[in-house]
Amino acid sequence: MSNAKVNKQQERREAAREQARKLREAQQRREKRNRLLIIAGVIVFIAVVAAALFSIINSRNADPLEGVDSQPAGAIENGAIQLGPDGVGSAAEGAPVVDVYLDYLCTHCWTFENVNEGVLEELAANGEATVNFHPIAYISGSDFNVRAASALGEVATQSPEHFGKFNAELFAAQGEGGATPLSDEQIADVARELGIAEDVIETFADTRYSDWVQGVTEQARRDDIGGTPTILIDGEPFTGWQQPGALAQAVADAAA
């Protein structure tokens, strides 16, 4: 075989090897680039998931009432409206603290009010207890509980001397057994019967305290309030409220 032919074959083999080398290098570059893209994608995915988890955890830990611009007079840190010897927003120094969680659509809350009508207001007025009212909206099917609680907030703010009676009459106006949603006009009629000024009643329809009601409701859930009515005396559940006089006696016992 001539030297020229041998040289050509050698050149073809070298060219083929060179081409194969270039193909391998190109494949290696592609694989490296793909690995980097996968790693970058995983990092971005982890960052997105971490951000989402942080947002969820942060939102769960956030104060439910943080950012609620409109809160009624007498509202304390957990959103409850406080009632003491000097009315809305006051506390009875050294006396037991009674927390009352009520839902205006709750039949048992109607019973509670029917059995204990005026008891809490009297205890507060006499300085025998500080009473914290938590009007919450656990029960769905109607927004009456939100509208009524918002109206209660208006009364606490603008007509505080009617606060206790207005709360009681919102249940009484529902008739036997309760759990009967009242219209805006019926809520207004309850207020008129108590002598609350018309300019106060006109603000009920604005429901400006609806966000506050939702905040108080969420705070109650976080505090493991399972249902309504829930009565706490110095933080301890009291379940004997069905017996007339038992609530007042329990408060007296707590003070002893």
Looking at residue 59, its pLDDT comes to: 43
**Low pLDDT (below 50) residues in the chain:** 53-59
Nearest to 101 by CA among 245, 236, 235, 227: 227
pLDDT at residue 222 in the model: 96
Q: Looking at residue 215, what is its pLDDT?
A: 97
pLDDT at 55: 42
Q: Dihedral sign, CA of 46, 48, 54, 56?
A: negative
135: left (phi over 0), alpha (psi -120 to 50) or beta: beta
Q: What are phi and psi of 104, to 5 degrees?
A: -70, -10
